[in-house]
Amino acid sequence: MDQEKILAIETSCDETAAAVVEGGTTLLSNVVATQMEIHQKFGGVVPELASRHHIEQITLVIEKALNEAKVTMDEIDAIAVTEGPGLVGALLIGVNAAKTLAFAHQKPLIGVHHIAGHIYANRLEQEFQFPLLSLVVSGGHTELILMKEHGDYEIIGETRDDAAGEAYDKVAKALDLPYPGGPVIDQLAHEGEETYDFPRSWLEKDSFDFSFSGLKTAVVNQIHQLKQKNEPISKANIAASFQASVVDVLVEKTYQAAQQYGVKQLIVAGGVSANRALRRSIQERFEGTNIAVSIPPLYLCTDNAAMIGAAASIQYRNNQYASLNLNAQPGLMIER
Amino acid sequence: MNILAIDTSNRPMSVALYHNEIPLIEHTLNSKRNHSVQLMPAIEYLMKEVNLQPKDLSKIVVANGPGSYTGLRIGVTTAKTLAWSLNIPLVTVSSLELVAANLIYSNGLVCSFFDARRGNVFTGLYRAQEGQLAVQLPDQNIAMDEWLNQLNELGEPITMVSPTEHSFHDLVSEKLGDRAKWIRGHLSFPQAGQLVLLGKDREPVDIHSTSPNYHRLVEAEVKWMEKNGRNE
Ligand SMILES: [Zn+2]
């Protein structure tokens, strides 16, 4: 039997994306129209602007995804879409486009959780081995999620304040660096040295939760002190020191959780998994263990629709369909 | 020719199916529930009731603003995705013209408006004559006070019509006196059937690039331009 082909749509933040995925593991097309440059001058994503750009791109991106996959709507078995979490106005464009396609071509509709998508991006590269642990790090998320089987998610740790990506953006702003902060700080850190001993927030002994607001404050205070003393500020050294602290905590907590839950596989997912220091550090820490580490290639780390199609494949096989009254759910939870 | 018309510009939601100029079914509701939840099931229901399949549709007409940004995007996203995926023409009509069209068989000036908060309105002025509607003053986003001054200068009777809640009755009386007449009740609400009649013979739009006519810039952009000068 042929594997199912899913047309997936993702518009939860500032990327308008559509993709065709076969059998949950094979990428037939993956089209992303990014709005990064549009939001850059505002120092962050402007929700109304994001929605306005999504609506201008949506049918173009879907058409391109079908063309690149060389399939017609008739050959598509289901339509999948990110239903949440995300910016409500942005999500609405994808959700309404997906519902319309499902109706127009009488196809099943599947609502997908954005974070499930980030995790399943890995399945386009490598089959899952359960139990698995996923470290999800992005502008809006820092979570450790345990999976015992497909479609089953348990959050065993999460941030109590800022997400890791958010901390990057705030530190970048304090250093007068452009938005988004992640790639710029990663690059600068590469050129600098860890000269400041910024705090590592471990929280309670057995907790796998994270906290980055104290670190962010320490960095901002350090910059402030240097300015007051009229001392030169090495952005590279501050970036290197800040990044070392973030990566230390992320990697160590992930390692401890992986050991405690006896997982067979570790997946690093979300936009921040593009970070080179994090990738290197994770690989080093897990070397010699029998835990398989998988980090998707960069183009699958950042928001895309292929990951939504991959996650939707599991729901398709379990007949977990949505009806035409599907709505955008900006605060959708991953645990059922 | 089977035509589907959609309006979700404000709190009312109206959907109609016509065969040429003949109404098959029309559905208008005015509730606080979400258009995003209600629109697609409503279209599905109407089609079923008149025994039409999606592939039987030959044209889509949508009201594309001004109005509530989110409401407009729900209607326009649905309309453009439907038209694109069925490979049929898409026509857009002003959301203000749609409401003014309730008076298309009257004679004289019709001002339709939507409350845009803080004393502002989305509004346009139309002239109804012999079953036709002509634009007298284009759709715009303006302070009601200033708009009424412009209307006053015309020195003609004007019929005011608005489907959104507002508190402009006193201001209108003050500025226009007896020359203003109000339309209340169902004729002040958009009816998608009118949308079909207005749009059925108009030139189709380019589907991919179609987006709502917001008639207002994003606040962050306005602030940015004020700070950095207009010519970036
Ligand atoms: Zn994401």
pLDDT tens digits for A5-16? 999 999 999 999
Chain A within 8 Å of B229 (Cβ-Cβ)?
no
Compute the average pLDDT of residues A277-299.
95
First to last CA, chain A: 31
Q: How confident is the model at residue B230 (pLDDT cuts 50, 70, 90)?
A: low
Average pLDDT, chain B: 96
| Position B232 pLDDT exceeds 70 | no
Question: What is the nearest CA distance from B135 to chain A, expressed in angstroms?
Answer: 26
SS3 content of chain A, % helix, strand, coil (to 5): 45, 20, 35
The per-residue pLDDT for B228 is 87
Ligand-binding site membership of A309 (annotated): no
CB B108 within 8 A of CB B127: yes
**Interface contact A104, partner B, CB < 8 A:** yes
Would an 8 Å CB–CB cutoff place B39 in contact with chain A? yes
A59 touches chain B (CB under 8 A): yes
- Going by their DSSP bridges, the two strands A26-34 and A15-22 should be labelled as antiparallel
- The residue of chain A with its CA nearest to that of B213 is A52
pLDDT in tens, A75-112: 999 999 999 999 999 999 999 999 999 999 999 999 99
Closest Cα in chain A to B207: A59
φ and ψ of A230, to 5 deg: 60, 30
Beta strand A265-269 with A292-294 is parallel
Please state whether beta strands B59-63 and B2-7 pair in parallel, antiparallel, or not at all (unpaired): parallel
Residues 6 or more apart from A253 whose CB is under 8 A from it? A144, A157, A202, A208, A210
In angstroms, rounded to a whole number, what is the distance separating the alpha carbons of residues A107 and A129? 31
pLDDT bin (cut points 50, 70, 90) of residue A43 is: confident
Examine the pLDDT at A328 and tell me if it is beyond 90.
yes
Q: How confident is the model at residue A139 (pLDDT cuts 50, 70, 90)?
A: confident
B210: nearest CA partner in chain A = A56
State mean pLDDT over A246-265: 97
Higher-confidence residue: A180 or A66?
A: A66
* For residue A126, pLDDT beyond 50: yes
Confirm or deny that A169 is annotated as ligand binding.
yes
- Exposure b/e, B179-215, CB count within 10 A at least 16 = b: ebeebeeeebbbbbbbbbbbbbeeebbebbebbbbbb
CB contact under 8 A, A95 and B36: yes
Is residue A167 over pLDDT 80?
yes
- Predicted local confidence at residue A2, as pLDDT: 75
Helix, strand, or coil (residue A11): coil
Identity of the residue in B34, B81, B208 whose CB atom sits nearest the CB atom of A327 = B34
Label residue A203 by pLDDT band (50, 70, 90). very high
For B219, name the nearest residue in chain A, comparing CA atoms only. A48
Is pLDDT at B77 greater than 80 in this prediction?
yes
Is the CB of A42 inside 8 Å of chain B's CB atoms?
yes
Contact yes or no for B78 and A96 at CB 8 A: yes
Give the C-alpha separation, A12 to A331, whole Å: 11
Question: Å from B114 to nearest chain A CA?
Answer: 20
Please state the rounded mean pLDDT for residues B45-67. Answer: 98
Judge: B80–A59 Cβ closer than 8 Å, yes or no: yes
Structure tokens of A26? 């094979």
What local confidence, expressed as pLDDT, does residue B231 receive?
A: 56
> How close A187 gets to chain B, by Cα (Å)?
28
Query: How confident is the model at residue B32, as a pLDDT?
Result: 79
Residue A127 pLDDT exceeds 80: yes
> How far does the centroid of ligand 1 lie from the alpha carbon of residue A271, in Å?
6
- The type of residue at B65 is G
User: Do residues B31 and B219 make contact, with C-beta atoms less than 8 angstroms apart?
Assistant: no
Q: What is the DSSP letter of B64?
A: -
Cα angle at A98 between A97 and A99, to 5 degrees? 95
Closest alpha carbon to A332 in A116, A76, A50, A27: A116
Contacts of A256 (CB under 8 A, 6+ apart): A208
A145 is written with which tokens?
Answer: 């999620």
pLDDT greater than 70 at residue A1: no
Which tokens is B92 given?
A: 């857009």
Region B170-191: mean pLDDT is: 96
Average pLDDT over every residue of B1-24 = 97
Show the domains of chain B with their CATH numbers.
Answer: 2-94+190-217 (3.30.420.40), 96-188 (3.30.420.40)
CB spacing of A325 vs B38 below 8 angstroms: yes
Residues of chain B positioned with their CB less than 8 A from the CB of A105: 54, 85
Please compute the mean of the pLDDT values over residues A192-218 and round it to a whole number: 93
Closest by Cβ to B40, choosing from A42, A103, A105 = A103
